[in-house]
Amino acid sequence: MCGIVGYVGEKNCIPILINGLKRLEYRGYDSAGLGLIANGKSQVIKNKGKVSLLEEKVDKLNITATLGIGHTRWATHGAPNETNAHPHFNTSKNLFVIHNGIIENYQALREGLKKLGYKFITETDTEVLPHLIDSFLVKGHSLFRSVQLALGEVEGTYGIAVVYANEPNKVVAARKGSPLVLGIGENENFVASDVAAILAHTKQIVYIEDGEVIEIYKDHFIAKTILDKQVDKEIHEITMSLDEISKGGFPHFMLKEIMEQPESVCNSMRGRLLLEKGTSKLGGLESVVDQLVDTKRIIISACGTSWHAGLVGEYMFEQFARIPTEVEYASEFRYRNPIVGKDDTIFFISQSGETADTLAAMHEAKIRGALVLGICNVVGSSIARESIAGVYTHAGPEIGVASTKAFTSQLVVLALITLLIARRKDMSLVDGKTIVEELQKIPEKISTILKLNDQIEKIAEEFKDVKNFLYLGRGYNFPVALEGALKLKEISYIHAEGYPAAEMKHGPIALIDDNMPVVFIAPKDSTYEKIVSNIEEIKARNGRIIAIASENDDKIDSLVDYSIKIPDTIRMLMPLLTVIPLQLLAYHIAVKKGLNVDQPRNLAKSVTVE
């Protein structure tokens, strides 16, 4: 999704901004631009397409600047072209703005501004901002005050950075609903939508909150609300390193992140397992654990891959914690007047902690008095900060748009929460210990599965040109079927569907012929015999079958075209293993199709608009 980076200091900011934008590329975008104050004048350079094109364009101009802002745009209103790329100017071209989010009342604002004589040259919602701010500047207000007054008229969401040539020593930034952080340096300050953009320069971060406007100078900053109340800001030291956000020798972030999973799942459980007591210790939930154990109902709300993790969580909570659990798409939850109140606990799962739908659903649940808990990966993200309590997944930065290690870490955290509640209810010590022991063995088992990379790459070669795929699983592996299909869709653009295996005969079986590969998730568990029957049904119709099967399962080889043999664990933890071959399969198919694995078309890593 759109990215923002800004700089005020003494160095030439152009390489700083370009490198910052490159660090934000993973979020997904279709055009890029820079706005600078060079020799006291405002200058905007932008283009459709990649940041590398922008870099070439700026290099040719041979300019330097010590203040500027940069943007990567993911089109919402208006086609992805150079005109619609940010920054956007006011009519006198002495003020420019970059914006993430959506101005919902832009049509009304646009009409009003047109009547005042402002001319619009783009199709974007953002373009109302420079003109609206200008309309206050011409009345004699400062830039800071004009931004406050303009935002008072805006409905919707925004993270913005504004530069005005007549006040050339500052960037003004503001936030409502779109992430924005301030980076504090030595005689230089930064603003960014994502810490990754400025991590090379500083680890001192100030989180900008909704409703705040910040005036950023090279050696200090002033923070107020839109209503002009002074706010005190705290500086946080972040621990993420630059190494963690680079590819580390892998051709793609996605492959690096798949391969990191033995380590990332380990980090998710580090210090949290209590073997002797057969339970877990989650500091982030300590203050609410009694309430959690007594809760009448759990709702899990999320989007995309995190929603799939939530489905696995539902199985875990109901089987072991014995609490009725529902899983809701965050986007639906908010708009359907859900029956939620103080007896409910709602977990919001989000890798980024910034997904607009999830954040909005969380606000709704809070208003209704539910116990609002977060499961997030990004430390200090909006969902993490605004939930009453929660658990970090500690998977480390995830850059590839297709989520992999964040998913497995979410599953680990859900298992830890299950243990915490279930052991306070009726789970025996022996059962608790078994789960802890099995969790401890997961990293090594994932390493074993990752060694099948070459085998899976060969299978990918065979299937790279097909048009459709079906993924089938039962019980805990049904959400994994959904996740496997989503991975394939996201990065290879092959149509894929996930289904509960038993449901196949109620519809999808009509699709089966020799052009339809079916991936069965068929480990040896209590549903194994039933899934074998489903495999027979596909085979009878000439479907091509790939099975994810248990390592000791010899029977399956005669039934399927390809079998990928993986170690076993207890049922609730099986998704941590069965998903790994599916991630690798999607990855290799996309690579073989020559597609951009880390930045698939139309997708964004963190969807900060509704």
Q: What are the residue numbers of the active site?
A: 2, 605
With tokens 């969807």, the residue in question is 607
Quick one: tokens of 166? 């007549």
- Give yes or no for residue 301 binding ligand G6P (CB under 6 A): no
Least spacing, CB of residue 607 vs ligand G6P, in Å: 5
- Give yes or no for residue 607 binding ligand G6P (CB under 6 A): yes
Cα–Cα distance measured from residue 361 to residue 339, given in angstroms and rounded to the nearest whole number: 13
| Pick 29 or 118: Cβ nearer ligand G6P | 29
Instruction: Residue 18: name the closest of 66, 72, 62, 84 by CA.
Output: 72
Beta bridge partners of 519: 471, 546
Cα–Cα distance measured from residue 220 to residue 468, given in angstroms and rounded to the nearest whole number: 56
| Pick 87 or 159: Cβ nearer ligand G6P | 159
Q: How many CB atoms lie within 10 A of CB 526?
A: 9
- Give yes or no for residue 355 binding ligand G6P (CB under 6 A): yes
- Give yes or no for residue 351 binding ligand G6P (CB under 6 A): yes
Quick one: tokens of 79? 């086609």
Cα–Cα distance measured from residue 29 to residue 32, given in angstroms and rounded to the nearest whole number: 8
Q: Helix, strand, or coil here: 384?
A: helix
Alpha-carbon distance values, 43 to 36, 69, 100, 121, 144 (Å): 5, 11, 20, 17, 20
| Pick 349 or 566: Cβ nearer ligand G6P | 349
Binder among 124, 352, 393, 534 for ligand G6P (CB under 6 A): 352
Alpha-carbon distance values, 552 to 437, 523, 557, 564, 595 (Å): 21, 10, 11, 11, 35
- Give yes or no for residue 603 binding ligand G6P (CB under 6 A): yes
| Pick 241 or 602: Cβ nearer ligand G6P | 602
**Per CB under 6 A, which region of 52-60, 130-138, 302-310, 548-556 contacts ligand G6P?**
302-310
**Per CB under 6 A, which region of 87-95, 496-504, 538-546, 601-609 contacts ligand G6P?**
601-609
| Pick 95 or 481: Cβ nearer ligand G6P | 481
Least spacing, CB of residue 73 vs ligand G6P, in Å: 17
Binder among 350, 409, 477, 550 for ligand G6P (CB under 6 A): 350
**Per CB under 6 A, which region of 86-94, 206-214, 227-235, 297-305 contacts ligand G6P?**
297-305
By the 10 Å C-beta count (0-12 exposed, 13-18 middle, 19+ buried), 184 is classed as: buried
- Give yes or no for residue 135 binding ligand G6P (CB under 6 A): no
How many angstroms separate the first and last alpha carbons of the chain? Answer: 11
Residues 295/371, Cβ–Cβ less than 8 Å: yes
- Give yes or no for residue 179 binding ligand G6P (CB under 6 A): no
- Give yes or no for residue 584 binding ligand G6P (CB under 6 A): no
**Per CB under 6 A, which region of 152-160, 201-209, 269-277, 598-606 contacts ligand G6P?**
598-606
Binder among 358, 382, 408, 418 for ligand G6P (CB under 6 A): 358
- Give yes or no for residue 479 binding ligand G6P (CB under 6 A): no
Angle between helices 13-24 and 51-61 (to 10 degrees): 170
| Pick 344 or 398: Cβ nearer ligand G6P | 398
**Per CB under 6 A, which region of 122-130, 183-191, 269-277, 347-355 contacts ligand G6P?**
347-355
**Per CB under 6 A, which region of 105-113, 185-193, 271-279, 597-605 contacts ligand G6P?**
597-605
- Give yes or no for residue 606 binding ligand G6P (CB under 6 A): yes
With tokens 């989650």, the residue in question is 282
Look up residue 209 and give its DSSP letter. P
- Give yes or no for residue 306 binding ligand G6P (CB under 6 A): yes
| Strand 273-274, strand 371-376: pairing | unpaired
For residue 82, give every residue at least 6 positions away whose Cβ sits within 8 Å of its Cβ, in sequence order, or none: 31, 46, 47, 48
- Residue ranges in 210-269 that form contacts with ligand G6P under rule CB under 6 A: none
Least spacing, CB of residue 404 vs ligand G6P, in Å: 9
For residues 561-592, one letter each, b for 16 or more C-beta atoms within 10 angstroms of the residue's C-beta and e for the rest, the string is bbbbbbbbbbbbbbbbbbbbbbbbbbbbbbbb
- Give yes or no for residue 303 binding ligand G6P (CB under 6 A): yes
Closest-approach residue to ligand G6P (CB)? 304
| Pick 522 or 604: Cβ nearer ligand G6P | 604
Reply yes or no: is the peptide bond before residue 87 cis, omega within 30 of 0. Answer: yes
Quick one: tokens of 176? 């409502």
Q: Helix, strand, or coil here: 385?
A: helix
Least spacing, CB of residue 523 vs ligand G6P, in Å: 24
Number of residues that bind ligand G6P (CB under 6 A): 16
For residue 384, give every residue at least 6 positions away whose Cβ sits within 8 Å of its Cβ, in sequence order, or none: 353, 374, 376, 378, 390, 392
Helices in 32-122 by DSSP H: which ranges?
Answer: 51-61, 106-115
x/- map, 399-418, ligand G6P, by CB under 6 A:
--x-x---------------
Least spacing, CB of residue 392 vs ligand G6P, in Å: 13
In the complex, the residues that contact ligand G6P under the rule CB under 6 A are 303-306, 350-352, 355, 358, 401, 403, 603-607
